[in-house]
Structures are given as C-alpha cells and as structure tokens.
Structure 1
C-alpha cells in the first residue's frame, strides 16, 4: 500500500451524505498534504497511527497500521506510536493545569513543585526523535496544550526538523480532525 492507496481508502470512508463545499475542501486539503514532499512515508505512517488513536478513528488506525506494516516499520516503533497518545494525553492534561496556575499565581506554582509523573519515553524513544517530536506537536495541538506545543516545536527544531515539515504536520492535523469530525454519526 502506498500513500495513494492509503488516501483513496481513507477518503472512501468519509460519509457520502455530506458532499458540500466543506467536505470537498477537507478532502482536497488532505490529498494535498498527505503527499507532502516534506514528509517521509515512515513519518506519515507513525504520525497517522498516533493521531488516529487520539482522534478515536478505528478506520484510520487500521489503515495506518496496514500502511506501516507495508513499509516494514519495526514493530517496536509501531507499538510506541500506538502508545504515545496515552502519555501525551497525561502530560498535556497536567501541563495545561500548571500553565493556568502560572498565569494566575506564579507563587502557587512553586508550591506544587516537581511534576512527579513517570515519563521515561521522553528520553528513550524507539523511533527517531524527529518523528517523535512531530507526533507530540500534533497531539498537543489537538489537546490544546500551549506549553507542550511550544516545548515540542522548539525541541523539534533543535533536533533538525525544518519548520516547513512542522507546518505540514500541523495542517494535516487540522484537516484530519475536520474529516473525522464530519464522518462521526
């Protein structure tokens, strides 16, 4: 399965009862950014696995897993991509709380002290760090965690990810959120 087949299979699942300009725009945007030359096949596959889990799209999870298997991506990387939404959700939730507290009362934040949550994956990812950071940016955007988006964008740039690649991932994240929202019953 290549990106073209993945795209065709996924877009075929979008409910045909909606065929207005919004759906056409979303589908057209998806086709444009899924083929981005800035993103490798492996980045797309791992990203789609994590993002589809975050967005709770079983159809896209299955297509992304099929795509990753076709690309011969290591099983430990695939497993990690499936688990990232869990740790990212925990961290996004916690850091949103701390960010809100910091805004209202800097002294209160000191009283809370260290995060105190296990997050060993942040230093020991099985996938390339650049892929990991792209996924964390995308999920943090969906979870509306400003602090995490800023930290992971900065770290992605530090490990050599071009901002054009980050921009394409963020666009694709918004597009997928829209497509999956429209396809819900």
Structure 2
C-alpha cells in the first residue's frame, strides 16, 4: 500500500509522475518527518481520496501522531489563508491594509518544529497558487537556515503529489 500502490494505479500517460513520486520521497535530502509531512499536507491539499488515503497510510509509518495532525493542520489553515491572501493580492492596494481577523493559532504552535510546519505550508501554498503565502513561508524558512535546495525539495513533492491527484481525478471522471 502507500506510495507504491498509488504509483501502480497511475495510467500509462502518468508514468513520469509515478517515477517522480517515488524518487522525490525516497531520494530526498529532507528529514523523514519533513518528507512525509510535506507529502501528507500536499495530499490533503490535492483532495483526491485515493492519493490522500494511501499517502496518509504510509506517512503514519514515518510520522508521530502530532506530526500527522500538524500536516493536516498546515493544509487546512493554508486552504483558508491561501484563498484570502491570494484574493487580497489581486485586488486594489487598499485591501492590503485591512486586517483579516482570521484565527490561525496553529501557525504559532503547530506541535512540531516550526521549520517543518513552515515547509508544509510552503508546499501547500504552491499547490494552491498563493504567491503572498509562498513568499512569506520561503522567507521564514530561509531565516531559519533552510537553503534553496531544501525549499526546492518541498516544491518538488508538492508538484508530484498534485500531478498524481490530477491523474487519479482524470481517470475517475472518465470512468
């Protein structure tokens, strides 16, 4: 089960995605918690039930319960924040000075190392296409000593998890 099951279920046209899915996870220079938390948060954000279920099953072998909750929390809080901040960024500048009044306490106390949570938020923000949140989380990661190669790894995981979900959604819709 897990990533191998997801990879095996991909259609032929998504073979590259399957290869990339396994290699981004197996060959990552990130810590196992960073890899699996990123993969889980991205699977939540990608919203495909098969991809989420299988990645969550394998992630549970590598993550503590609090890390699982934090990864799901990162995806959920970014679902809200990415919509809000992306929209404000697209509107007139006068909206930028208006406080959002959105509760986001998990960002301050995620229950895992802050740098891991920031990486997960960055990856989900990439899936959701929020430039403002991407920039904010990248700056926080860089300030914490995370280099461009590590940030890039989070983005690679986001890209392949999202692409995997798209392939599964495509086949489900056409079935």
Contact 2:7 2:19 in 1 (8 A): no
1:89-128 per-position Cα deviation (integer Å, ceiling 9, x unaligned): 1111111122112xxx33x236x62121111112111111
The yes-or-no answer on 1:83 pairing with 2:73 is yes
Are the aligned partners of 1:48 and 1:61 in contact in 2 as well (CA < 8 Å)? no
Q: Which runs of 4+ in 1 moved over 4 A?
A: none
2:133 matched residue in structure 1: 148
C-alpha spacing 1:24/1:64, structure 2 compared with 1 (3 Å) = closer
Q: Distance in 2 between matches of 1:122 and 1:150?
A: 16
Larger radius of gyration: 1
How many residue pairs were aligned? 170
Q: How big is the alpha-carbon RMSD for the aligned residues of Structure 1 and Structure 2? A: 1.9
Q: Which moved more, 1:37-46 or 1:90-99?
A: 37-46
Query: Which runs of 5 or more structure 1 residues have no equivalent in the other structure?
Result: none
Q: Which residue of 1 aligns with 2:57?
A: 66
Normalised by the length of structure 1, the TM-score is 0.82
Which residue is equivalent to 1:12? 8
* Deviation of the 1:138 alpha carbon: 1.0
TM-score normalised by L of structure 2: 0.86
Stretch moving more, 144-153 or 37-46: 37-46
